[in-house]
Amino acid sequence: MPRKPAPGTRERILDVAADLFDRRGVHAVGMQQIIDGVGCGKQLLYREFPSKDHLVVAYLERSAQAWASTLARVCATVDAPEDQLVELVRAVQGMAPNTRGCPLRNTHAEFPDPGHPAHQVSLKHFQDVREQLRELARRTPAAHPDRLGDRIMLIIDGLYVSGSTLGPTGAGATAVGLAQDVVRAEIAAQAV
Amino acid sequence: MPRKPAPGTRERILDVAADLFDRRGVHAVGMQQIIDGVGCGKQLLYREFPSKDHLVVAYLERSAQAWASTLARVCATVDAPEDQLVELVRAVQGMAPNTRGCPLRNTHAEFPDPGHPAHQVSLKHFQDVREQLRELARRTPAAHPDRLGDRIMLIIDGLYVSGSTLGPTGAGATAVGLAQDVVRAEIAAQAV
DNA sequence: GTCTATACTTTGATAGAC
DNA sequence: GTCTATCAAAGTATAGAC
């Protein structure tokens, strides 16, 4: 059984691949470019990732983990659930300094075939996020928590997309302000 | 200079191409599939569209025209500008019965290269739409019309994206309700 | 002359062999 | 790491039908 040559090999490959995928899109990046970027041989890459699909899936799962980390960090930093929702929107604004938007959203758009693993992995992620946001909203005193969660999800989706075309600054301010107002309105509706 | 043999040729090609592009994405559709779908020869297609890029651009411009028609229809049907904004969101909800979202958004995600014509055409469309929405918002008594316009744009973007993953019904209701509340809130802010 | 159908060339990709 | 097999796609050219 072949041993791993260096412990960080898998991560290094993923670093290079993620950078290229983020900037140019998955379809436009060939395996050879990734190999050249890593600076190692073909064997090594194909040992870690038997096919490009495997590599893409690993890339998506890593992006999903980045979201999970953000969620955990925000929940650990901010106390009130209603503030957590707003802070998540602000965190998304900060997560996309480039103008290309969300890796999972972009890759999802690149693989419309429902049978493709990249499509399935990204789709499951969005369903998970929706449930997480609804769960957070249920801890607030909002009148309709599921509606609040879905609205925050819509704002985050719009932020990713608008930010990739209109620039992150303008769209970011719009999204955060809107999220604040939405949360406030839902809480106020409860007070009535 | 060769004349058009049949007047509807160009439209027929675009019909077939748009259907395939919408369902499977631009990259996944080969010129041969479009030719097979139309039932014509290669010469004819390449006479109307000298390259695939030309065809994609025509496809995008046609989608942009569909938006322009929707905008004109809503403005002609509804009187109050604040109702027009909400009605636009509702119209977008109806325009995406499939689960693939906006053709312009999807194609934009498929062509990240800023030098590619498909990227430029779609980008210009989004800038135009943003200005149109701001212009509509300026006719309302909203306190901050540009902010209102940007918020509606964010909602429309989010609707396209959320609808493509969570289904158009749930996301549509969320987006329309949110748009109503946003418009109402901006008008109320003016009343103060 | 105009359209269909097919063959061909070039390019670039994945993936495996050594 | 290099070299190669395989395949798919864009675009061109050509042969032939109405």
Taking only the tens place, the pLDDT of each residue in B15-73 is: 999 999 999 999 999 999 999 999 999 999 999 999 999 999 999 999 999 999 999 99
pLDDT of residue B167: 73
Query: What tens digit of pLDDT does each residue of B116-173 get?
Result: 999 999 999 999 999 999 999 999 999 999 999 999 999 999 998 887 877 767 888 9
Q: At what angle do helices A103-110 and A9-24 cross, to 10 degrees?
A: 70
User: How many interface pairs between A and B have CB atoms less than 8 angstroms apart?
Assistant: 117
Measured CA to CA, the distance from residue A121 to residue A113 in angstroms comes to 12
The whole-number pLDDT of residue B177 equals: 97
CB A105 within 8 A of CB A165: no
User: Comparing C-alpha atoms, which of B83, B191, B172, B178 is closest to residue B136?
Assistant: B83
Q: What is the predicted pLDDT for the residue at A1?
A: 47
Instruction: Look at residue A163 and give its three-state secondary structure.
Output: helix
Please indicate if any CB of chain B lies within 8 Å of the CB of A27. yes
Provide, rounded to the nearest whole percent, the portion of chain B with pLDDT above 70.
Answer: 93
> Rounded to whole angstroms, what are the CA distances from A45 to A4, A21, A65, B28?
11, 16, 22, 25
Q: Which residues have CB under 8 Å from A103's CB, separation 6+?
A: A18, A21, A22, A59, A60, A63
- Cα separation, A171 vs A180, whole angstroms: 14
* Phi-psi category of residue A39: left, alpha or beta, with phi > 0 → left and psi -120 to 50 → alpha: left
- How far is residue A191's CA from residue A73's CA, in Å, rounded to a whole number? 29
pLDDT of residue B5: 56
Query: Is residue B123 within 8 Å of residue A165, measured between CB atoms?
Result: yes
* Radius of gyration, CA atoms only, chain B: 19
* DSSP 8-state symbol, A80: S
Query: A-contacting residues of B 102-161, CB under 8 Å?
Result: 105-106, 108-113, 123, 126-127, 130, 147, 150-151, 153-161
Note the pLDDT of residue B169: 78
| Cα separation, A87 vs B73, whole angstroms | 39
**pLDDT given at position B97:** 61
pLDDT on residue B185: 96
What gap in Å lies between CA A18 and CA A26, rounded to an integer?
Answer: 9
Place of tokens 């190692």: A40
Element of type H or E holding B33: helix B31-38
- Domain spans in chain B, listed from the N-terminal domain onward: 1-50, 63-191
Give every residue of chain A whose pLDDT is below 50, as ranges.
1-2, 4
Confidence label for B6 from pLDDT (cuts 50, 70 and 90):
low
Q: Burial level of A75, CB count in 10 A (0-12/13-18/19+)?
A: middle
The neighbour count for residue A108, using CB atoms within 10 Å, is 25
From the CA of A135, how many Å to the C1' of D16?
68
CATH topology of domain B1-50: Arc Repressor Mutant, subunit A (1.10.10)
* Phi, psi values for residue A43, rounded to 5°: -55, -45
A43 CB less than 7 Å from any atom of strand C: yes
Give me the numbers of helices (H) and strands (E) for chain A, helices first please: 9, 0
Check pLDDT > 60 for residue B1: no
> Rounded to whole angstroms, how far apart are CA atoms A132 and A186?
18
Predicted pLDDT at A192: 65
Residue among B8, B58, B13, B162 at smallest CA distance from A149: B162
Cα–Cα dist A157/A167, whole Å: 15
Tell me which chain A residues have a C-beta less than 8 angstroms from the C-beta of B108: 164-165
Residue B172's pLDDT is: 87
pLDDT, residue A96, reads 67
By Cβ distance, the residue of B110, B127, B154 closest to A159 is B154
- Rounded Cα distance between A24 and B112, Å, is 6
CB A111 within 8 A of CB A96: no
Q: Is B42 near strand C, with its CB below 7 A from some atom of it? A: yes
What pLDDT does B161 receive? 87
Q: Is pLDDT at B2 greater than 80 in this prediction?
A: no
Could you tell me which CATH class the domain B63-191 is placed in? mainly alpha
Query: Looking at the complex, does the CB of residue A185 fall below 8 Å from at least one CB of chain B?
Result: yes
Alpha-carbon distance of A108 to B150, in angstroms, equals 25
The structure tokens listed for B172 are: 């549509």
CA of B108 to C1' of D11 (A): 24
Q: Which tokens belong to B77?
A: 């049907």
